[in-house]
Amino acid sequence: MNLPHDDKSCGWYAALPTPEKATGLAGRQVADYAVIGAGFAGLAAARRLAIHKPEARILLVDAQRVGEGASGRNSGFVIDLPHKFALENPDPEFKQRLLRLNRAAIGQLQSLIGEHGIACQWSHAGKYQGAVGERGLAYLAHFEKLLSELGEPYHSVEGAALAKVLGTSHYSRAVYTPGCYLMQPAALVRGLASSLPDNVELLENSPIFRVERDGKGGYVLHGANGEIHTQRLLLGTSIFTREFGYLQNRLLPVMTFASWTAPLDEAQSKRYSGVFDWGLTPADHAGTTVRMTQDRRIIIRNTYRHVSKYGRSVDDAMRNRIRASHRKAFLARFPELSDVEFTHTWGGVYAISRNFTNFFGQLDDGAFASACDNGVGAAWGTISGTLLADHAVGAQSSLLDDIQAVTGMPSLNPPEPFLGLGVRSRIMLAAWQSRSEL
């Protein structure tokens, strides 16, 4: 079994204080509900179950510490708009459903952050979609067309006005959309975990090696130092869902990488000519994402890899090559900050499907999952986990109708080695085509 195996180089997590000692799975435990995976989806599912079933015992178990996995490794965007290929869907109602779901997730997160005082650099900063050359500008024009058809507000920014925000003249033009929020992902998920209801017990550093039926309609979850017996199982495990025997040959493990700098000091901040706290995604999907954080760090994210063994597919040599490519992208944008060094380079693994379809719903009697976020984990994980709990207890809502209407079964993948060859070739082609936007 391939378990999560993330390196210790994630900048978001390293910037946090050392957490309190973890409680792990030990002995024989009996729970009314067990949730595997304490990322955005699992945290939301456990919280919602606790609201529905305040007298139930709910165990939330994760192979790592909260914030060490994919949910704490993204670029810190919570995006309201349909993402990438979903925005191309010809059905307007499909996109309106996604908007409702994403905005419900944002509202839910904002409420929890306020209620529990979660310090995570939460900011209603909006988002820039940026273009460098002709290829990017063509994608940007298409993006504007799709936004107009959707009836969503946006405005174009270019020239000196754009450079004044970003602190670089590298970009020709950008489209600003106001509905995106920015945050520190590892801080957010840790804050969500520390504010769970009293009837949710969090078990960390407790990988589950095997899930089997107990012959009585329930499940047994086997760990190294104990086991969990439960009648209801919810999986917020994204790509790792396939390790438990579900959705096999339907999910593709992809890792994307980021590097960030130390916080700019006073002298460096004076040389930097932009504002602090903004985020830019590339108009060309394979281009470079850039963020300036509230604590004055610059993040560069690009480079994708097919990682059949998740974190174990990455070694120091690969990470160093990626870091060098990030450095090139950084200097192209901020040459006046050449003395600012990267302190961390990290990757995060997520699940995509060949038909860009997210799975949501029942896997087996008493077993439910939200899997395959296709690269939009913060908003999608939050709302899908919430609604998965609703589904598991039989609660109905218009949002549950929405998510069931926009999800389905990820398509089957070809067998290895053809799958790996195809994915790697597609990633290499996309990088070559988008080289001017990197």
299 plus 214 within the same structural domain: no
| 237: number of Cβ within 10 Å | 26
Residue with tokens 């949910």: 71
Q: What is the pLDDT of residues 297-339, one digit of tens each?
A: 999 999 889 898 889 899 999 999 999 999 999 999 999 999 9
Whether 25 has a pLDDT exceeding 80, the answer reads yes
Same domain as 283, residue 148: yes
Predicted pLDDT of residue 425: 83
167 burial via Cβ count (<10 Å: 0-12, 13-18, 19+): buried
Number of other CB atoms surrounding residue 296 within 10 Å: 17
Summarize pLDDT for 175-204 with one digit per residue, the tens.
999 999 999 999 999 999 999 999 999 999
End-to-end CA distance of the chain: 35
The rounded percent of the chain whose pLDDT value lies above 70 is 99
- Decide if 247 contacts 354 (C-beta within 8 A): no
Using alpha carbons, select from 184, 137, 169, 134 the residue that is nearest to residue 156: 137
**Domain extent for 191:** 11-72+187-250+359-414
Q: Are residues 21 and 59 both part of a single domain?
A: yes
Higher-pLDDT residue of 308, 148: 148
What pLDDT score does 254 carry?
A: 92
CATH of the domain at 213: 3.50.50.60
- In the predicted structure, residue 71 carries a pLDDT above the cut 70: yes
Q: Mark whether 242 and 295 lie in a shared domain.
A: no
Quote the pTM value: 0.96
Closest CA to 106 of 180, 25, 196, 165: 180
Same domain? 227 vs 238: yes
The pLDDT tens digits for 387-423 are 999 999 999 999 999 999 999 999 998 877 767 777 7
328 lies in the same domain as 404: no
Residue with tokens 């919570």: 78
Task: Say whether both 323 and 277 belong to one domain.
Answer: yes
Residues 15 and 148 placed together within one structural domain of the fold? no
The pLDDT tens digits for 329-384 are 999 999 999 999 999 999 999 899 999 899 999 999 999 999 987 667 899 999 99
- 269 falls within a domain: yes
Shared domain check, 229 and 302: no
Peptide bond just before 253 cis, omega within 30 deg? no
| Residue scoring higher pLDDT (344 or 430) | 344
Number of domains the chain is built from: 2
Give the residue, 166 or 431, on which the prediction is more confident. 166
Q: Do residues 315 and 264 share a domain?
A: yes
Q: What is the mean pLDDT of the chain?
A: 95
